[in-house]
Amino acid sequence: MVTRSRLSTGIFMFVTLGITGMNRAEKASLQLQAVAVLRMLKQTRTYEELSGLTALPAGDLNRYVNGHVLPGAQRAGEIVDQIGRQELATELDARIRVDTEGYIDNSSVVFDQSFLNLVAPVVAESYGFETPDVVLTAATDGITLGTTVASHFDARIVYAKKSKETAVEEFVESRQRLASGIELTYYLPASAIADGETVLIVDDLIRSGETQELLLDIATQAGSQIGGVFALIAAGDEGLARARQLTDAPVDALRTVEP
């Protein structure tokens, strides 16, 4: 059986669960990745809660998290394999904050590379997205997640901006007037996406879907194939519904919260 694991840098490689077939470097990478997973989960859980999740003794978990000992390769594989879509969604719930006006603070997520490293393989395996040549996001909030997802797929990361880059002569641009009357424009260098490439659109947050509509328009103008639209958090269903009207590709979020 083949499953996805990744190096401690967060760039996953294929390894078999027949742990004996792994070389020493692969085992060490898997062990370090398991420790990174446990440390990330420990930020919002007690050792007793972590024990209930992993079915491992709290004392062993304490030693792993504090770096006193590494889990064996077999146990490390089991730890990494347990972290799927639902567990990450639960972890996301514990980290985000919604204020009284409905604004979402997700800074504890988008600035945590260890968490984003775990999101990338779930994006690859759980949503039916087509493998992209390019990951497209909007500057600046989506860049950390987009870069991690692009690295996982071995794809390029490109991002659209609200202003033109100096020294770039040709751009693909998309403009729309928002309900508030403000005009929103995004620009992407014309050379960033080649005709016929598959593009996965990624962002940290989808609310109204206006940004995703502009990114979809840019990708379409560039002659690309849309492989999907993904957001860490959807603030309600409006943005997801809007994006789904614009593409037949999968559109989804790790977690939907009511703003």
Average pLDDT of the residues in 113-117: 87
Tokens of 223: 């002659």
Residue 50 · residue 58 · CB < 8 Å: yes
Out of 70-84, 188-202, 206-220, pick the least confident: 70-84
Tens-place pLDDT, residues 92-107: 998 899 888 888 999 9
**pLDDT on residue 17:** 42
Alpha helix (H) ranges present in the chain?
A: 24-42, 47-54, 58-65, 73-82, 85-95, 107-110, 113-126, 143-153, 210-221, 238-246
Alpha-carbon distance of 113 to 115, in angstroms, equals 5
Task: Identify the DSSP state of 207.
Answer: S
Residues 255, 88: Cα–Cα separation, whole Å: 9
Q: What CATH code would you report for 104-257?
A: 3.40.50.2020
Contact between 114 and 80 under an 8 Å Cβ cutoff? The reply is: no
- Is the pLDDT at 251 greater than 70, yes or no? yes
CB proximity list for 183: less than 8 A, separation 6 or greater: 175, 176, 177
SS (H, E, C) 26-54: HHHHHHHHHHHHHHHHHCCCCHHHHHHHH
Amino acid sitting at position 172: V
pLDDT, residue 30, reads 82
pLDDT cut 90: percent of the chain above it: 58
The residue that leads in pLDDT, 75 or 240, is: 240
The pTM for the full model equals 0.80
Give the separation between CA 80 and CA 15, rounded to whole angstroms. 12
Is the separation of the CB atoms in 206 and 215 below 8 Å? no
Amino acid at 229: V
Asked if residue 20 has a cis previous peptide bond (ω within 30° of 0), the answer is no
The pLDDT confidence band at residue 20, using thresholds 50, 70 and 90, is low
What distance in Å separates the CA atoms of residue 56 and residue 72, rounded to the nearest whole number? 12
Domains of the chain, by residue range, sit at 2-83, 104-257
State residue 40's pLDDT score: 83
Q: Mean pLDDT score of the chain, rounded to an integer? A: 88
Residue 46 has pLDDT above 50, yes or no: yes
